[in-house]
Structure 1
Amino acid sequence: MNRSVYITKLASYYPNEPVANDDIEKFLGLINDQPSKARPLILRNNQIKKRFYSFDREGKTTHTNTNLTRLAIEKLFDDKFKQQDMQLLSCGTTTPDQMLPPHAAMVHGEMGGHPVEINTAAGSCSAGIQALKFGYLSVLSGNTTNAVCTGSDRFSKWMQAKFFKEEAEKVSMLEGGDGMIAFEKDFLRFMLSDGAAAVLLEDKPNPDKLSLRIDWIEQKSYAHELPACMYYGAVKDENGNFIGWNDLEQQQWAGESAFALKQDTKLLGEFIVKKGGEFMKELVTKHNIDVENLTYFLPHLSSQYFASRIAKELEVLNIDIPSSKWFTNLTWVGNVGAASPLLMLEELFNSGRMKKGDTIWMMIPESARFNYGYVMLTVV
């Protein structure tokens, strides 16, 4: 099979004006009317300066996840590629607006237009890449000649103080303290952001401007070895057993913040870099990657804290990628989950910095239950 798949256009959408660090709790609210004790430490480690929220200062919603995704997709359409030309819509997200219908169906419904094949990828940070791979395989196989793939997330509403109110009161009564919510939850509150990225895949490159040829997309899960690390719609009991929302009593949903996004930071720190490095080393051998001649390395970082740890792991693995080749936009857009890898790529692609022959290696770690994605691209 002598076929290739090309990224011919990328677009992004961020809601409202960026929110600076000093304004975070003005938007999200104070838990138990107390500023977070962990906030200064978390912000110092993640080095995020700005993020985007899909609601205003009064807490009124301005965008749904479906809205964000549609608005990013619409930027792909022009005289050369119209909405009616789209054959496949593949959408990845962590934070759908509802459990059912699936996210891609809601996006298609809001867009209107004509019948298309749809696919929804559910997960956390790698969901956007899973959506991209579905589109890539469709075009590669000849099932379609194009695909629109997206990554999007709207975490901000989940991070509002009102969703932690009952748990904070419960902790305060039990411990006689200030009702401080666990560091694992604050860790995410001051990191996450909202936005969407959209990618157009076609079976031919742009005739008059640069495109990205997808050389390969590889993914691997380590869920068989490791427990859940980031989760929502569930809790862990005192023995670490995982209990889904439908096995909880209704009062536990609010009382234990079952639907709040949670992160086991100890588990994260112990395994997220290590397992990603194992897979990376395998791929260097499998694809005979010339690491020295890579042009760009795009690691998805949930926090800048992990950059130095990844660099040390690469040194141990003898994979030399100097910091001058790294490209991230975490500091000025925040961690947008499933959208982040594609938002990085979109910014680089539209920056005017790339030239034919450049190579781009993307790394997407997902801590939910340790799934990893890697993408190799060549500028053509």
Structure 2
Amino acid sequence: MSLKEVYITRTAAFLPNNPVSNDEMEGYLGLINDRASKSRRIVLRNNGIKNRYYAIQKDGTATHTNAEMVSLAIRKLFEKNPTELKSVDLISCGTSSPDQMMPSHGVMVHGWLPESGNIEVVSPSGVCCSGMHAMKYAFMSIKSGMSTKAISSGSERLSRVLSADKFELEIQKLNELEENPYLSFDKDFLRWMLSDGAAVFMLEDKKSTDGPSLRIDWVEGISFANEIESCMYMAAEKMSDGTLKSYMDYEPQEMIEKSILSIKQDVKLLDEHIVKLGFNKLKTKFEENNLTNNDVTWFLPHMSSYFFEDKIYAQLADNGMEIPKDRWFSNLATHGNVGAGSIYLMVDELFNSGKLKVGDTILLAVPESSRFSYVFAYLTVC
């Protein structure tokens, strides 16, 4: 069986409501203990984010579900020919914030598309890498000839779990945040970083006839969970031995008192591992494919914060893979951290920017701190 080439032929995105500026955030997320956050200014200075999007109104009422946002992005793929949706034979959806535990996120997206056919739907779980896993599944399905037209997505809707009533009173001292920015990477830090939204790719076994396409040359994923304990987690509590205690093992009152459903992060592990592990693996992948930094026209790194930009740059340089900053592309400042959707939103903006030329290459890098997973992909404009 001969393997087919796989192309991203179209991209689309859906961002809910109007952008929310830094000064407007607490109007949506609320005040903890009726007091403005002392850490917000410091965290925002470090992460460099200026705007983000929330699928909620100021009173906390939801305006969109996660699945609905993905479906609206999918519909944008077919604005010129809505009936073409019927020809899709696979939908692969990644997110870390499904609207419910069951049914799966993917089938809920499919449920918003009643005019589509009875097709295969998959829902890779995880955090930031889940969107890339969704893309890789679609990529492998088309490459093997099992599908001819597939949609993959990355999306998040976390604004409701960031609201003030979901968080404990801030206990970090302002001077601690000033002395060590990593101390801001805890529950409160995530409130000023995460954003809602969805974006999608159309993957096909033939190039587009209407414009450029992105050939997916390879996708590489790796996990270090066999070596390192959990770093970011939700619906669990971290024990002294590094294991996680599930929300299912807590009494209802304990879940409230310990804010078990809040997102938490082990900042010491983040500092030690998040950049080094994945980009060392990337060096190996480049060596296997006889690639150098000169073979990268555009570098799209998923970053939760611009705090990591110079650290990634330094690690690449240490590995002999220095990529000049003028070849980097990010929309973190304008879109916020949309987790599994961030890399999709970056590709979508670059793809539709008019900046790409035939022969350009694009390196995608998505780190995930939950238990240190990484996915990299290499694309060629054609």
TM-score (norm 2): 0.94
2:191 alignment partner in structure 1: 189
- State the 1:240 CA deviation: 3.8
Q: Which residues of structure 2 form unaligned runs of 5+?
A: 172-182
2:38 is the alignment partner of 1:37: yes
1:130 alignment partner in structure 2: 133
2:65 is the alignment partner of 1:50: no
1:353 alignment partner in structure 2: 355
Secondary structure class of the residue paired with 2:347: helix
- State the 1:253 CA deviation: 1.2
Paired with 1:131 and 1:256, the residues of 2 have a C-alpha distance of 33
User: Match of 2:25, as an amino acid?
Assistant: I
Paired with 1:217 and 1:239, the residues of 2 have a C-alpha distance of 34
Paired with 2:202 and 2:82, the residues of 1 have a C-alpha distance of 12
- State the 1:141 CA deviation: 0.3
Fraction of identical pairs, as percent: 46
Paired with 1:41 and 1:182, the residues of 2 have a C-alpha distance of 8
The answer as to whether partners of 2:39 and 2:184 remain within 8 angstroms in 1 is no
Paired with 1:208 and 1:111, the residues of 2 have a C-alpha distance of 25
Secondary structure class of the residue paired with 1:214: strand
User: Match of 1:213, as an amino acid?
Assistant: R
Pairwise CA RMSD of aligned residues? 1.7
> 100, 118, 138: which is aligned to 2:121?
118
User: Match of 2:120, as an amino acid?
Assistant: E
1:228 alignment partner in structure 2: 230
Within a 5 Å distance, the mapping from 1:10-21 to structure 2 comes to 10-21=11-22
Within a 5 Å distance, the mapping from 1:279-294 to structure 2 comes to 279-294=281-296
1:276 alignment partner in structure 2: 278
Paired with 1:153 and 1:334, the residues of 2 have a C-alpha distance of 11
User: Match of 1:84, as an amino acid?
Assistant: K
1:330 alignment partner in structure 2: 332
User: Match of 2:131, as an amino acid?
Assistant: G
2:142 is the alignment partner of 1:145: no
The answer as to whether partners of 1:152 and 1:339 remain within 8 angstroms in 2 is yes
User: Match of 2:162, as an amino acid?
Assistant: M
Relative to structure 1, the CA distance from residue 245 to residue 80 in structure 2 (aligned partners, 3 Å threshold; closer, same or farther) is closer
The answer as to whether partners of 2:229 and 2:242 remain within 8 angstroms in 1 is no
Secondary structure class of the residue paired with 1:340: helix
Larger deviation, residues 46-55 vs 30-39: 30-39
Secondary structure class of the residue paired with 2:365: strand
- State the 1:293 CA deviation: 3.3
2:160 is the alignment partner of 1:157: yes
User: Match of 2:75, as an amino acid?
Assistant: E
Secondary structure class of the residue paired with 1:205: coil
Secondary structure class of the residue paired with 2:150: strand
Larger deviation, residues 207-216 vs 284-293: 284-293
- State the 1:168 CA deviation: 3.5
User: Match of 2:136, as an amino acid?
Assistant: K
Cα distance per residue 1:272-312 (max 9 Å; x no partner): 00101211111111111132131100000000000000011
User: Match of 1:154, as an amino acid?
Assistant: R
Larger deviation, residues 297-306 vs 75-84: 75-84
Secondary structure class of the residue paired with 2:27: helix
> 300, 318, 336: which is aligned to 1:298?
300
TM-score (norm 1): 0.94
> 91, 105, 110: which is aligned to 1:89?
91
**Count, aligned residues:** 369
Paired with 1:330 and 1:289, the residues of 2 have a C-alpha distance of 27
Paired with 2:49 and 2:283, the residues of 1 have a C-alpha distance of 29
2:248 alignment partner in structure 1: 246
